[in-house]
Structure 1
Amino acid sequence: MFSRRTVLTGMAAGLFAPYFHDVYAQSSALPARLVLVLECNGVYPRALLSTGTRAALGGRANTSDRLFWDAYKDTPLVREGDNLASAISLGPLAESAGKIDLVNRSAVLLGLSNLIAGGGHSSGTGGLSCAVNGAGATVDAVIAPRLRRGAPFDVLRLGTSSARVSIVYETCALGPRKPAGIIVNPSLAFDSTFGSLLGGSTNGRDRKMLFDFALADSRKALAEFKGNSNERLKLERYVSSLESLRTREDQLTGMADRVRPYLPVAPKDNPLLTGAGSPPDSLKWFEAQFQIATAALLGGLTNTVVLATGTSGFDVAYGPDVSDVARHNLQHGLDAGQNWEKVAEVTRRHVQLVANLARTLAATPEVGASGSMLDHTAIIFMSDNGEQHHSTSREWPKLVVGGNALGLKTDGRTVVYPKYDAPRNRQVSNLFNTLGHAFGDADFNTFGQEGSTRIAPGPLSELYG
């Protein structure tokens, strides 16, 4: 294993949080982290289906169909010791060229439904909230306070988008009608995080002075305010946000000497960004965002991360080595030529980024507990809308990596739950219940807003125990 100092060298380190969601909550007893990785606009079950599970299911699973619910059993099918890397998009989990095997530290879940989310091109916040889009907080916002443990940032939210903006608001939420921003420009993420470090002491002093001036003006306005209670509450929240920003600025300044030696080259010199093309290659930009997230986790800057590719604009472009057609047309022409293989390759490359992160965490000893950082980190790879381009939300394939020390049965198993309309089907909310239990909250049984359509509360016994 390597020290954090060794692993951090040369990696991008940074994060940006447009919103602050400080909630007083009991921290987890042991170090714990959550990383949610979303391939927006569909992850197909076929992409995560191993050859062994395909044979065990039989029926339509043995055809070329990308959806094969009719082959699912009436009770959960659990296949331990499955060769997950035999799936078309899970090859990066396999041991190769000195890279550790991640198959026996992973699990694949098929059959989980999330009908309340609505499907379509995107379910918005529904994928992470198990609620109608915009109706509730997403799981990252709910769990982050328990995991924060004094880190400067509660959640790091990064991604890519076909929208020509730098921050988008579709995938995550702090609560009903309270979207949480995701920064989709890696250069802005870098600059926003390290502005006080890159420019030296003068720039850092200027940033603090700006906060101090804004705070002084806001506090004065609050003291003299004579408006109604609702308007006063808005001003109080604004002052509180500025105070949080100022406090975090001091905290990051205190970490500067430790972080500064490991800053990578500036974004203008990063080949992932300078060579991304126009429109940018989403895979390259996403890799740059992974670099930022990886370093943030290693540096203890956050313990909760969301990485979403194609958020708030799923029609992202790829490089010529993958496809000269953007995602929307690629999906609509799925049965033409090699388009299905290209979509599966995109998923494979996203899994490769997950594997890179997992191997880095596996090579880093945990501080304050036994094992590696990966043992104390749950990485979930999923989609924001379910099982296909025009999703029905009937299935949400998942890859889970790490978290063994948290009680997750990521031991190389595939679990196939009965299909969406079967009595023993289980839902995405059950997976999020599982994470809550793994992070130390034994009462985290009812997350989600399925109401009467909730099949069963609590965690997935096939994944946790």
Structure 2
Amino acid sequence: MLTRRTILQAAATSAGVALGLPLTAQRLVASSSESTTPKRIIFFMQNQGFDPATCIPKGIHNSGSLANAELPEPISPLEPYKDRLHIINGLHGLHTSPSHSAFFGALGGYRGGDGVPPSAATIDYELSKALPQTLLPHLCIGMDSIENMTSKPTLATLSASGAGQPIFMHSNPNHLYQMLYGSISTGDIRLQHEARSNVFNEIEGLAAAKGQSLPAGDGQRYRQFVDGFQDINGLRERLDKVSGHLQKFAPEVDERYTQPEFETDWHDVLLDLGISALTSGITNTLTIGSGRGEIFGAWKGLGIEQQGHNLGHMKQPDNPIWIKIRQYNSRMLVKIIESLESVPEGSGSMMDNTLIVYTSNNADSQHTRGTNWPVMLLGSFDGAFKTGCFTQIDGNRPINALHTTLLRAAGVTCDRFNMDDKLAQKFDDGNGPLKELLV
């Protein structure tokens, strides 16, 4: 039965989902300073775990250079970019309960679980606040089976702006294209964009007027609803103002959007949209969830018939299925690198000021306690991070220490990310950033 309360709840959620943002006001006004380095960061989270044997070259056990090493087959596409790579082994996430997935806990560094709301902001959101402002500070995209992406075009399991404030991932590229580039499109996409804009404008006005007569409790909930549409309409207006600039970066719409043969067609165009959002300057923080932080996911386009949970029960080293998935991921990383390298910035390219963080949302395997959480970094983040090397962390340092390091590199004073002294006494034998990673 529909009641005023359920209508308000659904409307508020729809507003947040449409924009892919939490239900709070967001920074949508771009600002820049000539003295500010336009840094950006990308998180690529693959579900089902990241076995260290699939990324650590054979024979390497101690920290050192990758110059004379041959990368394992699963990440072999990254061989030409080995001098930009930093492989990290030995961090842990015991406190996140990552079996099957740590969900929000992977990027939050706290206890997670299926259906458990975030207990604090995640590192990607915190970095989006610290980096130079953009029109859309944080963009999240999620890749899954075509059935899941169609039935649930948005899903929130990985990123959050605060306690109980999840951030939605976009999984339908048609919806995301319309949001980002509807104002410069033609045909049906343009008509849909204009129709939706008119509806959102009308709803915002009606909501603002009607909300004044509601009781205090419902009024506050209604205010979130109004703010959500203000955010949507504000973003549309700002993107309209830079439509001439965006025209240079919008991907070409083809049959992969409307008639995908496999889910990987949507994976590929979602990646294109994410890259275009970075190169155009719409955003400086991109989070990619392959498997969307859950135990599902499919890659039929790679010739893999197995799906979802079953993939997590397979050993990853020397497994032809996981070699295909990891190589597919690595080719995506290469595409990001090459795309950012092609755009001049300062005395170099956009990639010189970018960092890619590749890992899993549940440590080293699907069924894991989180004793080892391998991570790969690509790029130096404007010279902040060491590259072309392998680092073995032998102490009891949690993934929170990596998150702290990222914040430090972004200029934020932080000794521990989302970990109080009591928790640190049990799970962290150090303090501050991982000095082994920084220049």
TM-score bin, normalised by smaller chain: 0.7 to 0.9
Spell out the pairing of 1:274-423 with structure 2 (5 A cutoff): 274-277=259-262, 280=263, 283-319=264-300, 321-334=302-315, 340-366=319-345, 369-410=346-387, 412-418=388-394
Confirm or deny: 8 A CA contact 1:89 1:345 kept in the other structure.
yes
| Counterpart selection for 1:143 from 114, 122, 127 | 127
Distance 2:363 2:197 in 1: 44
> 1:91: how far off?
1.1
Q: Match for 2:397: what amino acid?
A: R
Residue of 241, 244, 255 corresponding to 2:231? 244
Cα distance change on mapping 1:113 and 1:37 into 2, 3 Å: same
Partner of 1:210, secondary structure, is helix
Indicate the residue corresponding to 1:428 in structure 2: 399
Matched residue SS, 1:94? helix
Report the CA distance shift for 1:242/1:329 in structure 2 as closer, same or farther (over 3 A).
closer
2:144 alignment partner AA? S
- Give the structure 2 partner of residue 17 of structure 1: 20
CA offset digits 1:389-413 (Å, max 9, x no partner): 2121111111100124141112x10
Give the superposition deviation at 1:135.
Answer: 1.9
Change (3 A) 1:404 1:188: closer
Superposed CA RMSD: 2.7
TM-score normalised to structure 1 length: 0.79
- Paired residue type of 1:127: A
Partner residue in 1 for 2:101: 122
Q: Is the partner of 1:399 in helix, strand or coil?
A: strand
SS for the counterpart of 1:405 is coil
- Taking the aligned partners of 2:91 and 2:237, their CA distance within structure 1 comes to 44
Alignment equivalent of 1:439, drawn from 410, 413, 416: 410
Q: Partners in 2 of 1:153 and 1:80 — Cα distance?
A: 37
8 Å Cα contact 1:364/1:372 also seen in 2 = yes
Match of 2:199 in 1: 210
Q: Is the 8 A contact 1:119 1:391 kept in 2?
A: yes
1:97-119 C-alpha deviation (Å, 9 max, x unpaired): xxxxx111110001110111102
**Alpha carbons 2:23, 2:165 under 8 Å: kept:** no
CA distance in 1, matches of 2:247, 2:172: 21
Following TM superposition, by how much is the alpha carbon of 1:207 offset from its aligned partner in structure 2, in angstroms? 4.2
Of residues 349-358 and 318-327 in structure 1, the stretch that sits farther from structure 2 once superposed is 318-327
CA change 1:312–1:331 in 2 (3 A) is closer
Q: Deviations over 1:151-187 (max 9, x none)?
A: 2212110011243421111112222222211122223
Q: Which amino acid aligns with 2:63?
A: V
Is contact 1:49-1:84 (8 Å) kept? no
SS of the equivalent of 1:90 reads helix
Distance apart, 1:145 and its partner CA: 1.5
Counterpart of 2:289 in structure 1: which amino acid? A
Structure 1: distance between partners of 2:92 and 2:332: 25
Shift of 1:81: 3.9
Tell whether the 8 Å contact from 1:90 to 1:348 is kept in structure 2 after alignment: yes
Q: Of the candidates 126, 144, 148, which is equivalent to residue 161 of structure 1?
A: 144
**Greater shift after overlay, 353-362 or 182-191?**
182-191
The CA deviation string for residues 109-157 of structure 1, in whole angstroms up to 9 with x for no partner, is 01110111102111111110000122222111122112252x2212110
Matched to 1:87, the amino acid is P
**Partner letter of residue 240 of structure 2?**
T
Structure 1 residue 444: Cα displacement = 1.9
Partners of 2:310 and 2:110 lie apart in 1 by 29
**CA distances 1:250-283 after superposition (whole Å, capped 9, x unpaired):** 111012122235433335x13x874533xx3xx4
Q: 2:246 aligns with which of 243, 251, 259?
A: 259
Structure 2 unmatched runs, 5+: 1-17, 113-117
Please state whether the residue corresponding to 2:203 is helix, strand or coil.
Answer: helix
User: By how many angstroms is 1:247 displaced?
Assistant: 1.7
Amino acid at match of 1:120: S
Change (3 A) 1:49 1:265: same
Distance, in Å, in 1 between the alignment partners of 2:185 and 2:70 is: 41
2:418 counterpart residue number: 448
* Residue 185 (structure 2) aligns with: 198
Out of 62, 87, 94, the residue aligned to residue 108 of structure 1 is 87
The residue number in structure 2 matching 1:74 is none
With over 3 angstroms needed to count, the CA separation of the structure-2 counterparts of 1:213 and 1:404, relative to structure 1, is: closer
Q: Which residue of 2 aligns with 1:30?
A: 37
Q: How has the CA–CA distance of structure 1 residues 47 and 202 changed in structure 2, closer, same or farther, with 3 Å as cutoff?
A: closer
**Structure 2: how far apart are the matches of 1:240 and 1:140?**
22
Contact 1:430–1:460 (8 Å) recurs in 2: yes
SS in structure 2 at match of 1:89: helix
Q: What TM-score results when the alignment is normalised by the length of structure 2? A: 0.84
1:289/1:434 Cα in 2 relative to 1: closer, same or farther (>3 Å)?
A: same
Distance across 2 between alignment mates of 1:167 and 1:340: 31
Structure 2 CA distance for partners of 1:365 and 1:179, relative to 1, 3 Å: same
**Per the alignment, in what secondary structure is the counterpart of residue 173 of structure 1?**
strand
For 1:320 and 1:440, the matched residues in 2 are separated by: 41
Aligned to 1:50: 57
- Aligned-partner Cα distance in 1 for 2:176–2:286: 14
Task: Quote the Cα distance in structure 1 between the aligned partners of 2:342 and 2:304.
Answer: 33
Listed as ranges, the gaps of 5+ residues in structure 1 are 1-14, 58-76, 96-101, 419-423
- Structure 1 vs Structure 2: percent identity of aligned residues? 21
Tell me, in whole angstroms, the C-alpha distance in 2 between the residues paired with 1:429 and 1:154: 22
In 2: Cα distance, 1:331 partner to 1:83 partner: 32
Residue pair 2:24, 2:224 contacting (<8 A) in 1 also: no
8 A Cα contact 2:251 2:276, kept in partner = no
Alpha carbons 1:17, 1:155 under 8 Å: kept:
no
Count of aligned residue pairs for this structure pair: 403
